[in-house]
Amino acid sequence: MNQRYYSLDVFRGATVALMILVNNPGSWGNIYSPLKHATWHGCTPTDLVFPFFLFAVGNAMAFVMPRFEAAGDAFFWKKVIKRTLLIFLIGLLLHWSPFVKWEGDSLVGKNLDNLRIFGVLQRIALCYFFASVIVYYGKTKGAFVISGILLLLYWFITVWLGKAGDPFSLQGYFGISIDKAILGEAHMYKGEGVAFDPEGISSTMAAIVQVVFGFLAGQYIQQKGKNYEMLANLMIAGLVLIFAGFCWDMVFPINKKIWTSSYVLYTTGLAMLTISLLIYLIEFRGIKGAWSRFFDVFGKNPLFIFVLSGFLPRLLALIRFKDGDELTSPLSWFWNHICKPISDDLRNGSLLYALAMIAFYWLIVYWMDKKKIYVKV
């Protein structure tokens, strides 16, 4: 797969690199607009990162599912359940990390009273699980039909259970009450100023389809082989999905935070066009080299580098030392003394910081690739 479909590795790696870029600014208050999430409705380049990653999960699934089917039900369930539980647990531990915090001049253990239960890795785990079951038992045709039903059902439920006349707003979205009842407010994300989890229970229904669509695209690429018919059909499918997403947007707005059905179609279409472009450049034209190698190494250890990029800054924040009259930490010192002074526009310094983080983590995965170290679950 890595030789024949090297473009899929580059796609996955580029998605991971962009994820690091948008998750590690020098200052959250000074970010260029394309590197911000949409305030509510709409879609920025940053809003493409997570759905592209789920789409890549589905792509990879297309290459392992034949092995699962050949090995039988017991093997399938053992592998899928084990991987789901591991990824979900890693997500929980990442939220809890670094397990201690400063209280005054002392380090104390972090309790679990307000541990966020859901999150990025938890959503990946659940979407992987349900998409695997749908694909394994539904096969290609069944997976396509079930995906359509899930998207339509989510739209119907959102309107039916949401606030009358305003079901797609933060205040009117039905999923918040479900998350509060099951998870509890203390265990939910509060980045919007209220208890609201963008990776909550209800919106996972639509996110599952993102993985299924990734599988269907990967399966098609694998079965058709490297030819212009495959490439043309993939591009056409991408354009059709983008158009369908825009049409649906008129009645069910494109929105990442509640992961609307229109958002699934739109971002899946963009993912297909992106993969089509990479296949054309890399597989057909042979245009590869340092640029593709840069992204490729990220794609070989995606889960590891995502976890490390989330854990390491929290760990380094525990290291405190004097900087003049103030206490600081290594990454804060780097921001204040290296990145921040480069420009009066703090967005430039914030971008430099994020690029430096990408370079730092790239060196780690590059070394791991050289040593043939690949962390998988």
The answer to whether 309 touches 24, Cβ cutoff 8 Å, is: yes
- Predicted local distance difference test score (pLDDT) of residue 325: 84
Q: Is 213 in contact with 58 (CB distance < 8 Å)? A: yes
> For 271-326, what is each residue's pLDDT tens digit?
999 999 999 999 999 999 999 999 999 999 999 999 999 999 999 999 999 988 88
The per-residue pLDDT for 229 is 94
Dihedral over alpha carbons 357, 363, 369, 371 (to 10 degrees): -140
Environment class of residue 24 by beta-carbon count within 10 Å: exposed (0-12), middle (13-18) or buried (19+)?
A: buried
Check residue 376 and give its pLDDT: 86
Q: What pLDDT score was predicted for residue 3?
A: 41
Query: What is the identity of the amino acid at 357?
Result: M
Q: Which two tokens stand for residue 302?
A: 């995606």
Rounded to an integer, what distance in angstroms lies between the CA atom of residue 321 and that of residue 324?
10
State pLDDT tens for residues 188-204: 999 888 999 999 999 99
With a cut of 50, list the residues of the chain below it in pLDDT.
1-3
pLDDT at 2: 39
328 strand-pairing partners: 321
For 26, the token pair is: 């020098």
| pLDDT computed for residue 377 by the predictor | 85
Q: Would the pTM count as exceeding 0.85? A: yes
Answer for the pair 105, 175: CB distance below 8 angstroms, yes or no.
Answer: no
What integer pLDDT is reported at residue 4 of this predicted model?
A: 59
